Amino acid sequence: MKILSDFKLSVDPHEVKQHLQRAKASIPSVANKEDLKQIFSLIDLTTLSEQDNSVNVSRLCEKVNQLSDIYPDMPRVAAICVYPELVSVVKEKLDNPLTGIASVGGGFPASQTFTNIKVMEIEQAIEQGAEEIDIVMQVGKFLMDDLEYVVYEIQVIKQRIGPVHLKVILETGSLQELDLIRKASLLVIGAGANFIKTSTGKISPGATPEAMVVMCCAIRDYYQRSGRKIGIKPAGGISDTSTALLYFHIVKEILGDDWLNSELFRIGASRLANRILGEIFDKGPDYSYF
């Protein structure tokens, strides 16, 4: 694999530890409300339950539509992320043009189906209104070292969807070793991913600070060599403001302020949006708006 031959693939645990220490040290003792608002604007507001239907997804869209009336000082969320079959509901109900429509696809969450089926599902989601697609890297093939297949599949999907943003989930909890997380990051970036994402949220562990550091370092190294900026999306278990602030400061520490916007940084979450609203407006940790 040419993309892998251009980079060192081993991870220095000491470097990971240093980045984490610096990121943690930069977090203020009292959360800055402007930082929390900025994090809110990076959220892909996600509902991926087997119980999802047109009723609860419509309700979520209405909440997003009404947010600026109820909380005029709050920014919009970056996107609403749903299963492909519910994209049309978001397209119909969402009134805020600044909030994108994202869909998982490609046999989510296991990615264990045929490539042509993945492409068909993704194309149908885009026809229904999806502007961003989140897929899962074929982890089984990756662990077998069938890297050509992994790259081929991502390339085929990216070619078919063109300018639509493609976020590729590594499912870092299944990779376990930091060296494998770095290898997977560089591999899918080279295959054409616009974003790399930690987790589906369907297995444990989801996102971890260590995985996030390794992925950010891979993005940094690729950018320094190519000049191409790749986005980063932690997801899976990010439900409180302290965790979100840590990921925010990891990105700031390694990638810098240029990445602190929704074009290059997203956070996949559902409960986090409520926690941020509760903290900013002194409504307590159990506040529920969405």
Domains of the chain: 2-280 (3.20.20.70)
Coil vs helix vs strand at 89 = helix
State the pLDDT at residue 255. 98
State the pLDDT at residue 2. 76
177 alpha carbon, distance to own chain's centre: 20
Tell me if 157 sits within 8 A of 125, measured CB to CB: no
> 140 burial class (0-12, 13-18, 19+ CB within 10 angstroms)?
middle
State the pLDDT at residue 276. 98
Mean pLDDT rounded to a whole number for the chain:
97
State the pLDDT at residue 143. 98
- Cα separation of 82 and 52, whole Å? 9
- Cα separation of 123 and 258, whole Å? 31
Angle at 126 between CA 123 and CA 131, to 5 degrees: 140
Q: b/e map of 40-68 (b: 16 or more CB within 10 Å)?
A: bbbbbbbbbeeebeeeebbebbebbeebe
State the pLDDT at residue 1. 74
State the pLDDT at residue 122. 98
Per-residue pLDDT of the chain (290 residues), as tens digits, is 777 998 999 999 999 999 999 999 999 998 899 999 999 999 999 999 999 999 999 999 999 999 999 999 999 999 999 999 999 999 999 998 999 999 999 999 999 999 999 999 999 999 999 999 999 999 999 999 999 999 999 999 999 999 999 999 999 999 989 999 999 999 999 999 999 999 999 999 999 999 999 999 999 999 999 999 999 999 999 999 999 999 999 999 999 999 999 999 999 999 999 999 999 999 988 999 99
End-to-end CA distance of the chain: 44
Q: What is the DSSP letter of 60?
A: H
Tell me if 128 sits within 8 A of 91, measured CB to CB: yes
Tell me if 208 sits within 8 A of 6, measured CB to CB: no
- Cα separation of 286 and 274, whole Å? 8
State the pLDDT at residue 285. 86
Task: Please report which helix (H) or strand (E) contains residue 268, including its range.
Answer: strand 267-269
- Cα separation of 168 and 153, whole Å? 11
Cα separation values, 71 from 37, 64, 178, 283, Å: 11, 11, 41, 13
User: With the CA atoms of 258, 262, 263 and 268 taken in that order, what torsion angle do they form, in degrees rounded to the nearest 10?
Assistant: 120
What count of other Cβ atoms lies within 10 Å of the Cβ of residue 196? 27
State the pLDDT at residue 3. 78
Among all residues, which ones are annotated catalytic?
134, 197, 233
